[in-house]
Amino acid sequence: MRVIITGGATGIGKSCVECIDLRQHSLSSIGVNIDIIYFSSHSEAIKLKSDNINIHKVDVTDENQVKYFFDTIGSFDILINNAGGNISFNSTDKYLLEDWNKTYELNTTSVFLMCKYGIPVIKDGGKIINISSISAKSGGAEGGMAYASSKAAVDCMTKSLAKELASRNICVNAVSPGVVYTKQHEKFSSEEYYNSLIEKIPLGRDGKTSDISNLVTFLCSDESNYITGQVIEINGGMLMK
């Protein structure tokens, strides 16, 4: 089994690499080869490289780089679109168009390009898993409309792809984390603000990257073969419908 993970060197992506590499759940009896795609996190990526884990520096917002990656990689089984993030927070009247476009390129265009060039070589019966965000449904933090709406687009893309690829028995789902301490919160969230978010979580704690990767690993397994077109919320009860 061959798995491709974008943004796989840090945070949730790294946790997915480690979880899948341990071959948990139904992957336990299957050899797994993992291709990590990173862009700026070379020092973190190189630490994960092993006999069955390869690393590739690819700008997933650049069509030529994505096309070249898939032209050289060959067929694969699972694609995890984890790369993403926020560029800036600001009120709408002050938000820069440049930052808006960069946010969409990172969170939305990257998923499109990875699917555009990945779908022709993904095996029938494969899986595509997109990492979304609670912001897609909540609207996100004040000043974070670009991030929230770009992740809402990922939710919609997930459902469209699930319909498109059902005839090939390819399941497409999204995992939508709530509050998880990653580089994004490290960059943008003060300790006071982060703690205020935790106070809103019924389970009384923030999520761990392993909470997310355990679900992703399940969606990689044959146990999830009848699940497609779903956006699965995982947020400690912070968002209830």
In the chain, domain spans: 2-234
Could you tell me if 126 and 165 are in contact, meaning their C-beta atoms sit under 8 angstroms apart? no
Pick the CATH number of 2-234 from 3.40.50.720, 3.40.50.300, 3.70.10.10, 3.40.50.1100: 3.40.50.720
Could you tell me if 159 and 202 are in contact, meaning their C-beta atoms sit under 8 angstroms apart? no
Residue 27 has pLDDT above 60, yes or no: no
The partner residues of 4 in beta bridges, in order of sequence, read: 35, 79
Alpha carbons 126 and 128: distance in angstroms, whole number: 7
Q: Which of 104, 117, 147, 226 is catalytic?
A: 147
**Average pLDDT estimate for 40-53:** 94
Percent of the chain with pLDDT over 90: 87
**Average pLDDT estimate for 206-225:** 95
State the pLDDT at residue 182. 79
Residue 28 has pLDDT above 80, yes or no: no
One-letter amino acid of 85? G
Residue 90 has pLDDT above 50, yes or no: yes
Alpha carbons 34 and 23: distance in angstroms, whole number: 11
Residue 25 has pLDDT above 60, yes or no: no
104 is known as an active-site residue:
no
Alpha carbons 175 and 216: distance in angstroms, whole number: 7
